Structure 1
């Protein structure tokens, strides 16, 4: 099961200015399926219910993540 501390780290990594890529990658790449489900439940701001009551990604949150990762990629390859 996911730990509340990891959910808090992920929330902080994805909030504010920029994304803490190291924390994000570290937690998500070392997690098994059930652990990721627990993390998903703890990070509900990234999921919304549609008109048919299906859960889907929150498009605004995903756009923000994509922009941050593009920025990270650009900075990484400038070195």
Structure 2
């Protein structure tokens, strides 16, 4: 699977990738994201990575809250 045009919502990308696995594949599925340097898509990927890291840092593996949000964490959620 090759993703040429990334979505703003990473859940949509993950859903499309999961769908490729569920179509009855019995072989390995490889996902490649092609993003040109210096484009809006590159900035989108960086933003998604920062927001994903922030969301992942909020909870422990067992679902418990890891730590309180700092003021900078809250500001990062609203950055464009």
> Which TM-score bucket, shorter chain as reference?
0.3 to 0.5
| Greater Rg over alpha carbons, structure | 2
Greater helix content = 1
